[in-house]
Chains A and B, each alone.
Chain A
């Protein structure tokens, strides 16, 4: 932890580079960071409200949008940070710095796109029929929880990926399924009795908080959030411990 803090300048510059490199060659640049989740939300909103007709008690547009903003960040980071240590091998076998930094870099770099998406959410959600209430302040702790959870998962997955390269593909596959096991495109109530089981999914709590911020409180959201917090702490401890013990052994496996 101490050495992580000592190397924060490195973390910062790598994150900035990561962000710049990603959009450098694209003429629309950073706009893509916002356009993609927006487009995704729009497509999902149309598909699930007009075609599948998911029954909701709340305005569907803001619901999908809020969920997608959180999910896009999580999935985007998880998908890249899982192989961050393996991909960054050439950076780390010359000079030592905590490898955990490589896993955290995407978490930071993607915050820009996420931040712009949240602003877009604040502007667009009221247009789609949600009320502007003090509950919107929940977005702050919700984002913080999302960030910490993502970092924790990134630490664990990136360490695992060094040992088992399958983890990268496993994560990609899991994310596909995971999205539909999370109330992003449909509310838990749509599943009736089965919906409760989604509370065991740690991302449910995060999605719930985003929904709550935009649409106001609904029943039994605390349960899912509690699961998220507990999982986050557990993952964080596991991730930090894994990196603390294995950091200098990673290089032998790259």
Chain B
């Protein structure tokens, strides 16, 4: 069987204009606007067999969306060959191609037909599509009044009901609420078992691990890693944690080294509620009187989870240029599954005077089934005396149910 998607030595070059193109200037050869080349995807080989699923992860700007666009056929590679078998692959992402003035109902028809269904097929699946998107009450409202979540739900629903042979999913999970996210994942698993190939781009590692038996890491348009999801996620965190260009010349404090203890290997995994220790070695380049330390935890989306401030008691002591000390922070990872960025800040005597801000490593907390969000309070659910907490064994039963077709 031929592969569902085949990319052979594919590059995509964009011209970044230094100036705005204007009709007159482009026609006059001597006045052509200056431009410089940017490779969004470079010399990339990727083959996806039919019915297989691959996850794509990477930093922002690594070329993930360009890759999906190439697969969807909406853009052409500058070099190389892209081959796609089967029905047009719809690219699902935030703000699917909807017509603002038209109602949800009309958009379902237009979108369904764009995805290759006939009007009759759309009609037959219409109720199912609307029910899945949970938009029964709003289906005759013009979509310009929809929230971004409603938009995404409808777009996703149409796409998964269009029987694509390849489903390209770009970051949609970031928009919907948690329950819809779970529903999307469930639906993707059903499609997988029915033989649909899926390419999933996401920053949500729990989703990647749940759906993808194979994961590619993109970095600067190149394929950094292709294979086992655990190893791939590890690679991804290494990329994310690569020491930034800290220690600008003239900075009062420089970060010399950073170690993370209590985590699994160099992938920065930690069990829920596991104890973590982060040691940042800093060197004072200027004399600093009574420094303070702030330790922050942020979600991947940049949401501040917590700030911990060292004691505000002065006078304390003075550090001289050349002094090297360890800043040691210990905490427990009482987070829901996901990744968290650890930031260590050293301030002067005034706590708003940041002398160094170390965008430290990204910590990956193992997801616990049935719990999501930011904090994990280790909640249990009991109904009429019976324990109804979702745990691993129940999850496996659910998996069996979706995997056996019919």
A interface list, Cβ under 8 A from B: 9-10, 13-14, 17, 20-21, 24, 90-97, 163-164, 166-167, 170, 248-249, 251-252
Assess whether B75 is in contact with A95, with CB atoms less than 8 Å apart: no
| Bound CA–CA A23/B254 (angstroms) | 65
Assess whether A166 is in contact with B74, with CB atoms less than 8 Å apart: no
Least Cβ distance of B156 to chain A in Å?
12
Kindly state whether residue B288 has any CB partner on chain A within 8 Å.
no
What is the size, in residues, of chain B's interface with A at 8 Å between Cβ atoms? 32
| Bound CA–CA A195/B90 (angstroms) | 54
Assess whether A13 is in contact with B119, with CB atoms less than 8 Å apart: yes
Assess whether A252 is in contact with B97, with CB atoms less than 8 Å apart: no
B175 CB contacts on chain A under 8 angstroms: none
Least Cβ distance of A97 to chain B in Å?
6
Contact of B93 among A20, A94, A249 (CB under 8 A): A94
Contact of B119 among A9, A93, A163, A249 (CB under 8 A): A9
| Bound CA–CA A163/B88 (angstroms) | 27
Contact of B114 among A97, A166, A251 (CB under 8 A): A97
Q: Residue on B with the closest CB to A248? A: B76
Least Cβ distance of A171 to chain B in Å?
12
Kindly state whether residue B273 has any CB partner on chain A within 8 Å.
no
Least Cβ distance of B164 to chain A in Å?
9
Least Cβ distance of B151 to chain A in Å?
11
Assess whether B76 is in contact with A166, with CB atoms less than 8 Å apart: no
Assess whether B74 is in contact with A251, with CB atoms less than 8 Å apart: yes
A252 CB contacts on chain B under 8 angstroms: 14, 75
A249 CB contacts on chain B under 8 angstroms: 75-76
Binds A, one of B43-51, B98-106, B178-186, B335-343: B98-106
Assess whether A13 is in contact with B110, with CB atoms less than 8 Å apart: yes
Kindly state whether residue B321 has any CB partner on chain A within 8 Å.
no
B258 CB contacts on chain A under 8 angstroms: none
- Indicate whether A10 sits within 8 Å of B97 (C-beta atoms), given known contacts A17-B106, A163-B21: no
Assess whether A248 is in contact with B106, with CB atoms less than 8 Å apart: no
Contact of A21 among B88, B102, B113, B114 (CB under 8 A): B102
Least Cβ distance of B113 to chain A in Å?
5
Given contacts A13-B113, A91-B99, A248-B75, 18 further A-B contacts (CB under 8 A): A10-B113, A13-B110, A13-B119, A17-B106, A21-B99, A21-B102, A24-B101, A92-B97, A93-B91, A93-B97, A94-B72, A94-B90, A95-B90, A164-B22, A166-B23, A248-B73, A249-B75, A251-B69
